[in-house]
Structure 1
Amino acid sequence: MKKKTTEKRLFQYALQFKKKIIIGIIFLMIATALELAGPLIAKTIIDEHVVGVEGTWYELRDHDDRNTVEFSESYYKRADRVEESDEVLSTNTLLQIGRDYYLVEGEVPLLGERKAEDNTVYVRSGAEETTYSGQKISINDIYSFFQPEQRPILLLLGLYVGLLLIAGIFQFYKTFLLQQASNQIVKKMRNDIFEHTQRIPINYYVNQPAGKIVARVTNDTEAIRDLYERVLSIIITSAIYMAGIFVALFILNAKLAIWFLLLVPLIIVWMKLYKYYGTKYNKVIRSTISEINGKINEAIQGMTIIQAFRREKQTKDEFEELNTRHFKFQRKLLKLSALTQYNLVTVFRNIAFVAFIWYFGSASLNLESIISIGMLYAIVDLLTRLFEPVSDIVNQLPLLEQARVAGGRVFELLDLDGEEVNQKEIERYQGNIKFDRVSFAYEEDDYVLKDLSLSINAGETVAFVGHTGSGKSSIMNLLFRFYDPQKGKITIDGHDTSNWSRQQVRSHMGIVLQDPFLFSGTILSNVTMNDPKISRERAIEALRTVGADRFIEKLPKKYDERVTEGGSTYSLGERQLISFARALAFDPAILILDEATANIDTETEMVIQHALDVLKQGRTTLVIAHRLSTIQQANTIFVLEHGNIIEEGNHEALIAEKGTYYQMYKMQQGISQKAI
C-alpha cells in the first residue's frame, strides 16, 4: 500500500475541523469581495462624477431636479441624466482645456488635442482641426456643474466605508475561526503523538535520546502550528485575494488580466524550486535541533559527572559542533529566502508595470483605445494590491517548508508500530509463574536468556542471583512485558501472557527498581499515581508499612510535601521507600524487587526487610539481589550464568552444594568481615 505524503496527512488532520475552516474561508471570500469593491467604486467616482462632468450637456427650459445646473440664467443637465419629460432647448459640450472649462455650442468630440483663444475653441484630431464657439466658465461658476455630483460621491464613499466595516467584521471572524481550528488541529496532533509514545514498545526508547523525542512532541508540532495558524491562513487569504483581484481585472480589462495570469505559473514554479532546496536544508536543521535538545538533556542529567571528571570543555565542543552545523544550514536557508522574497517580488512587480505601461502606451497611439482616468486608476490600484498577496505567499515559503519537514518527522514517529492500550480489567491472578523454554535477545541473535525454564508457585518468594549480564533483569523485563521473548512462552496461572495486553499483565504486578523514579507532585501523588482507586488513607498506610513515615513525619507538609522531578531533594533510600510504598499501595499479586536494596544503607534495609515479611503473605515475590544476606529466607534461589540456570534451591541447600552460590556467599561474607 502506497504511503501517504506528508502534505496529504497534514490535510487530513485539517479535515477533522473542516467546518470551522470552511466557514472561515467563506468569511474570507466575503471580506475580500467587499474590500475589492474599492477600486471599482473609485473608478465610478472618477469617471462618472469627477471627470464625468466633461461631456454633453442639454439646455432645458425649466429647473427640473437636483441634477439641473443654473448658469448664465439658463438651465443645463448632463446628457446621461436627461429624462423623456425634460424639454431640451439646445445641445452643448463642457470641455476642460488646461485648468479652464469652456461651454461650447453643439456636440464636440472629446478626443483630440484642444486649445482655446478668447472664446474660440480649437480641437485637432489627426491633421484636421475644427473650430467651435465657446464660453469660458469662471472658477466660481464651474462649482455649480460639480454640485450635482457631491451627493452621489458622498453616497459611494459612504457605501465603501460601510463595506470596509462589514469586511472588517468578516475578517475578524475569519481570523478567529481559522486560528481556533489551527490550535485545535495541533492540540489533537500533540495528544496523538504523546499517546502514541506510550504505545511504542520500550525497546525503541533504549536507543533514542529523550531530547530527540521531546523535540518532536514540542518543537516540531510548534512548527506545524505555525503552518496551520499563520502559513496556510496567509496563503489561503492571499490566494483568494489574488483570485478576487483577477476577477476585478477581468471585469475592467480581460486582455490585460490574461497577461497578468502568467504570474501564477511563475509563483508555482518558484515554490517547486524552493521546496526542493528548502526541504534539504530543513531536514538537516530539524534533525540537528533534535540532537541539540538531546545533548542539552544529557548534559543537564549528567552535570555532576561532567563537572566531577572535568569534561566541561569536551561537552562544550560537542555542543558547539552541533550548533555550528545548525548555523551553517540555517544560513543557507536564509540565503535562499533572501534571494526569493523581496528580490523576487520586486522583479515580478517591475516586469508587470513595464508590461502595463507598454500595453497602455502603445494603445494610446490609437485615439479610440484611450482609457479613462478612472479605469487607469482602478487598474493601477489593483496591480498594486496584486503584489501584496504575492509577497505574502513568497514570504511564507520558509515556514511552509519548515512545517512540512517537521510534519514528516512527526508522522515518522506516529508510523512506528505501537500497541493499543487495553485497560480492560482481568480477574486478579494468584501468581503461579512459569517460563517454558524461553529464549530472549535484545539485539537479533545475541541471546541473553537461552532456553530457560522455571516454575514459581503462588505466594512463594524466589530470588535471582548471578554476575552482571547473567540475565537476572531480563527475566523481570519479560515477566513485566517490557519485552517479549523470541522463543518459548511465559504463563501466569496457566494463561499465556502474550494473550493479555501489557496493561492487563501489569494490572496485578508491582515493581521496585534499583534506581527509583519520582514524578513532580507530592509524596502522596507519587504513591497513588493519581489513581482514584487508591485512597489517601491507603497510600499513607503503605508508606507507614514500609517505614517511610520515619522521615515523612519530620517534613513541614508531611505526606503533602512537594517532590521535584526525579525526587532529587530526597536521599536514595527515601526515594526507594516511596517507590516501595507505591508498589505496595496497588496490592499486587506479584511483587518484583529489581535490586531494590542494592544501594540502601543497612538501617533502611532492615526496615524494608521487616516490611517484606508482612508483604510476602498472599503474594508472589521475585527478588533480584546483589546482597545475598537479604534473600536467605527465599523459598527458592535461582543462580544464573550467561542466560542459563546453573543452580537452584533454598539458601541451605545451595550452601551445602558448595557451588557458584557458595563461592559468591563466601566472597561477600569475607568482604563484610574485612569491612568490620
Structure 2
Amino acid sequence: MPQQPTARRLFSYALVYKFRIICALLILCCAVGAELAGPYITKTIIDKHLSTDTRELLPVLGLLGMYLGLLLTASVGNFVQAYILQSTALQIIKNMRMDLMRHIQRISLRYFDNTPIGQVVSRIANDTEAIRDLFMSFMATFVVSLVQLTGIFTALFILDVRLALFCLLLPPLFALIMKIHLKYSKGFISIMRARLSDMNAMINESIVVMPIIQAFRREKVTLDEFETLNQDRYVNQIKQFKVFSLSSRNIVGTIGSLVTAMVVWHFGQESLQSAISFGVFYAFIDYLGRIFQPIIGIFDQLTNAQRAFVSAEKVFAILDMDGTEVEQTDNVRRPEGTVKFDNVTFGYKAGEPVLKNISFEAGKGETVALVGHTGSGKSSIMNLLLGFYEPNDGNITIDGRDIASFSKQELRKHMGIVLQDPFLFAGDIKFNVSLYNENISLDRVKSALRDVGAASFVEQLPNGYDEPVVERGSTLSAGQKQLISFARALAFDPSILILDEATASIDSETEGLIQQALKVVSEGRTTLVIAHRLSTIREADQILVLHRGEIVERGNHDELMAIEGRYYKMYQLQKGEQASPVISSG
C-alpha cells in the first residue's frame, strides 16, 4: 500500500479538530476584515469631512467611534483565534507524540539495535516540536495573509482599477521567489535536522559512558567529534540564513519601495491633470503598504514550515515501520513452563547464523544453564525465547505450543528476567519492584525483597521502601541494584525465570544471598541461566555448553566434569583464576 504524502498525513491529524480550526479561522477572517476597514474609514473622514466645507462633528465622531470599535473587535478576535489555534496545535502534537511513543513500543528490537537512542529521543521531542510550529504559526500566518491580500486587492480595485491590475503582478512574482527560496533552503534544513539528531545521539551516548570516556582520557577526542557535527550544523545554518535574508524581507522590501515610489509618481501626475482625492491617495498608499506585510509574514514562516515537513517525514518514517500491537493479557492462562527448542537456527544478519540447529528441553521446575565463550550464542537463545527476534528455522514451544502463535505480551506475561546490567527506573524502591502492577501489593514487594536478601539494606535506607532511586540507580551499588532486579522478577511470580549473567557483577557475599534465594524461588519454575561463574550452576539439572552457535556438550556438572571436555577446562581455569574474564555474555 503506497504511503500518503506528508502534507495529507499532517492534514489528517488536524482534521480531528476541524470544527475548532474552522471556528478560529472564521474569527481570524473577521479580525482581519476589521483591521482592513480602518484605512477606508480614514479615507471617508478625509474626503467627506476634512477636505470640504462641511464641519459637522457628529459624523466624524461616529466614524472615529466605528474605527475604534473595529480596532477593539480585531484585537479581541486576534486573541481568541490565537488561543484556539495554539491550544489546538498543542493538542495535535500531543496526539502525535503519543502515537509515536505507542508505535515505538511495537517496533522490533532490530530497529533499536541499529539506531542510537538519541536519534529516537530527537524524533519524539525535537521533531514533533518543529511540527507544532506548522500548526501554530504557519497555518495562521498563511490564512491571515490570504484574507489580507484578498481584502487589500478588493479595496485597491475600488480605489483605482489600473494600478490594482498592475499590483496583481506582485503575488506571482513573490510566488516565484518563494519557490526558489524553498528549493535552496530545504537541503540546508534537512542537514541541520540530521546533525541535530546526530548531536543528540552523541550527547546521550557520552553521558551514559562518561566514566569510560574519562578513564581512557577520551575527553578531547569526544569533544572534537562533537565539534565536527556542531560545525557542520552551523555552516548549514549560515547558508540557510543567507538564502532567507536575500529572498525574504530584503527583496520584498526593495520591491515594495519601488512599487510605492511608482504609485506616488502616478498619483502625483494625476493630480496635475485632474483633481484627485487626498483620501484616495492616502488609502491606496496605506493598502499598498499592507500588501507586503502578509508576504513578509509568509516568508518568515517558510523556514518553520520546511523544518516541520522535514521533521514530519522523519516522524512518519518511524510510524510506517511494521509493529506488533500491544494486547491485553488479563485472561492469559499461566503456563506450566516446559520450554523446548527444536532445531533452531538464527542470525541477526542474513547468511550469518549465530545459532545452528539448537535443540534442548527444559521441563517444569528444571534449571538449565547455558555456558560458553563470548559470541557463542547464549544471549541469542534468551532473545528468541522472549520473542525479541524470530528464528530463521526450527521452532520454539512452551507447553507444546509454538511461541509464534502467542502475542508478545501473552508470551512474556509469565516470564521474569534478570540481566547482567540491572536497570532501575527513576522512582522509589517499591516502584522498581512492582512497576505499579496493581496485583503486586506492598507486602508482596517486601516479601520479594526479603527472599532475595535485600530487605536488610533497604530497611536501613533513610526512607526505607520509599527511598528515591535516581536514574539508572547510580546511588546504589551494583549488588544492591541486582538484588532489587531479582526482587522485581520474583514479585511477578513467573513460570519461566531467565537469569542473564545475573551474578556476574556482584560480590561473593551477595552472590551467596542470591543463590540461597534461588533455591527457594526456582522450585516449581523453569529456570534458564546464562552463567558466567560456573560455580553457581553446579546444581543445575542440565548444562548446555555452546561454541560458535552450536551445543557441543550437555549434561549435569558431574557428567561434564567426567568427560573432561570444554566445560571441564573452563571450570578448572575459573577455579584457578577466580577473576578471569574468559566467560562472558554472548
| Common topology (TM > 0.5) | yes
Which 10-residue stretch deviates more, 508-517 or 31-40? 31-40
CA–CA separation in structure 2 for the residues paired with 1:258 and 1:199: 58
Aligned residue number for residue 294 of structure 1: 201
- Root-mean-square deviation (CA, aligned residues, Å) is 1.6
After superposition, the C-alpha distances for 1:513-547 in whole angstroms (9 at most, x for unaligned) are 00000110001111111122211111111111111
Q: 1:28 aligns to what SS in structure 2?
A: helix
Q: Which amino acid aligns with 1:532?
A: E
Q: Percent identity between the aligned chains? A: 50
Note if 1:373 corresponds to 2:278.
yes
Match of residue 607 from structure 1:
513
Q: Note the C-alpha offset of 1:2.
A: 3.8
Cα shift readout 1:266-297 (whole Å, capped 9, x = no counterpart): 22222221111111001111101111111111
How far apart in 2 are the matches of 1:283 and 1:243? Answer: 33
Contact 2:426 2:471 in 1 (8 A): yes
Counting only pairs closer than 5 Å after superposition, residues 377-396 of structure 1 correspond to structure 2 as 377-396=282-301
Task: Name the counterpart of 1:226.
Answer: 133
2:321 — aligned with what?
416
**2:584 corresponds to which residue?**
none
More strand by share: 1
Aligned-partner Cα distance in 2 for 1:310–1:602: 31
Are 1:457 and 2:363 matched, yes or no? yes
- Which residues of 2 match residues 407-446 of structure 1 at below 5 A? 407-425=312-330, 426-446=332-352
How many residues end up aligned between the 2 structures? 579
Alignment partner for residue 124 of structure 2, among 213, 217, 225? 217
Q: Give the equivalent residue in structure 2 for 1:33.
A: 33
| Residues 475-518 of structure 1 deviation map (CA, whole Å, 9 limit, x = unaligned) | 00000111111111111111111111111110000000000001
AA paired with 2:191?
Answer: V
DSSP 3-state at the match of 1:193: helix
Does residue 1:518 correspond to 2:444, yes or no?
Answer: no
1:470 and 2:376 aligned: yes
Measure how far apart 1:199 and its partner are.
Answer: 1.1
Comparing 356-365 and 466-475, the one that deviates more: 356-365
Aligned equivalent of 2:94, options 181, 184, 187:
187
State the distance in 1 between where 2:46 and 2:477 align. 84
Question: How much does 1:411 deviate?
Answer: 1.5
Query: Shift of the alpha carbon at 1:633?
Result: 1.0
User: Alignment partner of 1:647: what SS?
Assistant: strand
Output the CA distance in 2 between the equivalents of 1:672 and 1:409: 49
Matching residue's letter, 1:23:
C
Q: Distance in 2 between matches of 1:184 and 1:488?
A: 47
Deviation for aligned residue 1:5: 2.5
Shift of 1:25: 0.3
| Residues in 1 aligned to 2:95 and 2:29: alpha-carbon distance in whole angstroms | 27
Corresponding residue of 1:65: none
Displacement of 1:628: 1.2
User: Match of 2:143?
Assistant: 236
Partner of 1:259: 166
Residue in structure 2 matching 1:199, options 77, 101, 106: 106
TM-score (norm 1): 0.83
The superposition leaves residues 58-109 of structure 1 with CA deviations (integer Å, 9 ceiling, x where unpaired) of xxxxxxxxxxxxxxxxxxxxxxxxxxxxxxxxxxxxxxxxxxxxxxxxxxxx
Does residue 268 of structure 1 match 2:136? no
| 8 Å contact kept, 2:554–2:560 | yes
SS of structure 2 residue aligned to 1:532: coil
| d(CA) in 1 for partners of 2:278, 2:268 | 14
**C-alpha distance in 2 between matches for 1:642 and 1:350:** 77
Unaligned ranges ≥5, structure 1? 54-144
Q: Report the equivalent of 2:22.
A: 22
With 546-555 and 237-246 compared, the bigger mean Cα shift is at 237-246
SS at match of 2:314: helix
- Distance in 1 (CA, whole Å) between partners of 2:391 and 2:502 is 24
List aligned pairs for 1:327-338, cutoff 5 A: 327-338=234-245
1:49 aligns with 2:73: no
CA distance in 2, matches of 1:158, 1:669: 98
1:527 partner SS: helix
SS at match of 2:77: helix
The separation in 2 between residues aligned to 1:14 and 1:260, in whole angstroms, is: 34
Q: Does 1:628 align with 2:502?
A: no
Q: Which residue of 2 aligns with 1:401?
A: 306
Please give the alpha-carbon distance, in whole angstroms, between the structure 1 residues aligned to 2:78 and 2:287: 20
Deviation, 1:364, is 4.4
Which has the larger share of helix? 2
1:519 alignment partner, SS class: coil
Deviation at 1:361, TM superposition (A): 4.4
CA drift at 1:363: 4.1
Structure-2 separation of matches of 1:632 and 1:609 = 11
Given the two structures, how large is their TM-score scaled by the length of structure 2? 0.96
> C-alpha distance in 1, partners of 2:402/2:155?
72
Aligned partner of residue 386 in structure 1, secondary structure: helix
Match in the other structure for 2:386: 480
Closer, same or farther in 2 for the Cα pair 1:331/1:656, shift >3 Å? same
CA contact (8 A) 2:108 2:388 kept: yes
Deviations 1:399-435 (Å, cap 9, x if unpaired)? Answer: 2212221122212222222221112332111101111
Q: What is the distance in 2 between the residues matched to 1:673 and 1:334?
A: 58
Distance 2:191 2:302 in 1: 17
Cα separation, 2, equivalents of 1:330 and 1:439: 49
Q: Any idea what the Cα deviations from partners look like across 1:544-578, whole Å, max 9, x if unmatched?
A: 11111121111000111010110011110000000
| Partner of residue 225 from structure 2, selected from 285, 307, 318 | 318
* Greater Cα radius of gyration, structure 1 or 2: 1
TM-aligned CA distance change 1:628 to 1:371, over 3 Å? same
Residue 259 of structure 1 aligns to which amino acid in structure 2? F
Q: Distance in 1 between matches of 2:203 and 2:70?
A: 54
CA–CA distance in structure 2, aligned partners of residues 547 and 411 of structure 1 = 47
Which one scores higher on RCO, CA 8 angstroms, separation ≥ 6? 2
Structure 2 gap segments, 5+ residues each: 581-586
